[in-house]
Chains A and B, each alone.
Chain A
Amino acid sequence: MKSFLIVFCLIGFWQTDSKAQQVRFVAKYGNEMLNTFPNTVKGKNGDTIEFSVLKFYISNLEFRKNGIPVYSPKEQYHLVDFGIEHSAVLNFDARKKIHFHEFVFDIGIDSATNSAGALGGALDPTVGMYWTWQNGYIHFKLEGKSSRCFARNHQFEFHIGGYYSPFNTLQKIRIPAQKNIESTIEIDLAILMESIDLATVHHIMSPCTEAVRFSQQFPFIFYSAKR
């Protein structure tokens, strides 16, 4: 009986391992890896940029094959926080081996969830991604300093949220997937920073036209690692 149980457990472990899917997010500035936060880089405009906070929600993730979802993780909402070790690595147990070509996910939290009242886990307001002076999750948070930034202490703060028209900033991302169980998705902050004139836009703290414009860059900053 004992040996049967051991064999059964081993099979269980082996099966779990074989079906595990891992999605790792890696922050970059151009070709430069941003392994730790805060992290200082030489900007493309000759300025010095210090990134101190990069946090965003990944939600409604789907693994797709030929455009059809083959696996949707049960856990729908994930907070990726580059200030917390291992937070940028998402692990899933697909229960069966899956073949997929593409990831599709949202950056941020959908409108229904924004109106659903108090929620826990990654959506608990204690994680610091919920506006309190008005309702709504902050989909994407990027903070830091740049010598190009004219604000006090050269600081920039981009808190991008908004779940209702005309300031809905939820963005859908589609990325070709690598054909292995460990996939890496890169986020190129250089593209984002070059899209902004830091001399004039250094703080976005509410749902507004600037926030929508900022969020429209999201589909261009996420890449499959082998681009």
Chain B
Amino acid sequence: MKVKLLYIFCGIVLLVAFKMADDIPFVVPKYFPAPVYDFKKNRLSSEKIVLGRVLFYDNLLSKNQTISCASCHSNYNAFAHTDHALSHGIYDSIGTRNAPALMNLAWQPIFMWDGAINHLDMQALAPIQNKIEMGEHIANVVSKLQKSPIYPKLFYKAFEDSIISGEHTLKALSAFMLTLVSCESKYDSVIKGYLAFDAKEKNGYALYKNHCSSCHTEPLFTNYRFENNGLALDTTLSDYGRMHITKQTNDSLKFKVPTLRNIEWTYPYMHDGRFKTLNTVLNHYSGGIIYSPSLSEPLQKPISLSAKEKVDLLSFLLTLSDTKYIFNKNHSFPREILKN
């Protein structure tokens, strides 16, 4: 009897060890803060990440099977929607905001330009069920996935359950999105001591620290807060940002501070994509600020930048481009599994 118990105990230990070996550790760069995402509630495994990647690129998630997450978040421009001021969805519907770039989501505590979403797991629900984005219902997505020839197997591999649920669908998407870590730009190499800034970049870094860093804070280049950065209200959209969620007037015209990482590729800029180039962005901050009661504190005092300083600041901003990130094959369309 004792021997049998010992065998059972050893079997359980081996199974647990095998399962633990399946977990993929999430590597945090030494100069990054601790992630806010709770990996204990959604352990990373290669199977889960693959499933999330396939879901991310699959048009099946939309009502008429034409739009995937990648339609507005393409890997070749740091998962932004380049060239579209306002992102568009099914039936060529035009939205009201510019789809933000996706990266370093394990550190992001709140999502959407207005902070409507409080957790990465729940973020995907918003575009899936928005009538002019993907126009679908999560229950119907799950039903379509269950009938698909590929997904029950992929879900079984990822969750040891071929019965698909909303929870598992969202957690798989999170698993993939959590792997979208950008930390290999020239800036990162400088911080790690492998490279040095040139003279222009060095001066640009000093200007950044002086004028931009209170909101676009290192090393993630955002403080994830909501700020009114002095943009004039676009009366065709009447988008008051954070106030829409909190219903507090002091949140009027406040939007989430976006990261500056990979900013070279994530044009057009601002929540409504009103600025096509980084030059126009710098011109806004150094002479285009519109005063209103909720204007961000650091912008209350006008910022003055000479033409040379703008060039230097731009040189620094370009050091935040992470080529390895946008060419990472693990982030691209999963041709080996998906056909569309």
Contacts and interface: CB of A to CB of B under 8 A. Distances in A.
B118 interface: yes
Nearest to A119: B167
Given A116-B119, A134-B116, A125 B42 contact: no
Nearest to A208: B247
A118 B48 CA distance: 15
Contact of B125 (A114, A115, A125, A208): A125
B335 interface: no
A133 to B, nearest CB: 6
A124 to B, nearest CB: 4
B120 A126 contact: no
B142 A126 contact: yes
B165 A120 contact: yes
B138 interface: yes
A130 B125 contact: yes
Contacts of A167: 247
A46 interface: no
A133 B130 contact: yes
A57 to B, nearest CB: 16
B158 to A, nearest CB: 13
The SS class assigned to the B binding surface is: helix
Contacts of A127: 139
B287 interface: no
Contact of B117 (A116, A119, A120, A134): A134
Interface residues of A, number: 20
Interface string A97-138: 000000000000000001111111001111110101111000
A118 B164 CA distance: 13
Nearest to B173: A118
Interface in B225-261: 245, 247
B165 A124 contact: yes
B167 A124 contact: yes
Given A126-B139, A132-B126, A118 B167 contact: yes
Interface in B134-156: 138-139, 142
A125 B130 contact: no
B166 interface: yes
A208 to B, nearest CB: 7
A117 B116 contact: no
B55 to A, nearest CB: 13
Contacts of B42: 117-118
A114 B119 CA distance: 9
A208 B244 CA distance: 11
Nearest to B171: A118
A178 to B, nearest CB: 36
B130 A120 contact: no
A126 B139 CA distance: 4
Contact of A125 (B41, B116, B166, B174): B166
B119 A126 contact: no
B126 A114 contact: no
A128 to B, nearest CB: 7
B117 A135 contact: yes
Contacts of B166: 118, 120, 124-126
Contacts of B126: 132-134
A126 B165 contact: yes
B139 A132 contact: no
B121 interface: yes
B323 interface: no
Contacts of B119: 115-118, 135
B138 A125 contact: yes
Given A118-B167, A132-B125, A126 B116 contact: no
A132 B167 contact: no
A133 B125 CA distance: 8
Contacts of B170: 117-118, 125
B128 interface: yes
User: Max chain B CB contacts within 10 Å: which of A116, A119, A120, A126?
Assistant: A126
6 contacts: A115-B118, A119-B167, A120-B166, A125-B170, A130-B122, A135-B117
Interface of B: 38, 41-42, 116-122, 125-126, 128-130, 138-139, 142, 165-168, 170-171, 174, 245, 247
List of 8 A-B pairs having minimum Cβ-Cβ separation, nearest first:
A117-B121, A118-B121, A134-B116, A120-B167, A118-B170, A126-B166, A126-B139, A132-B129
Given A115-B118, A118-B121, A125-B170, 4 more contacts: A114-B118, A115-B119, A118-B168, A135-B116
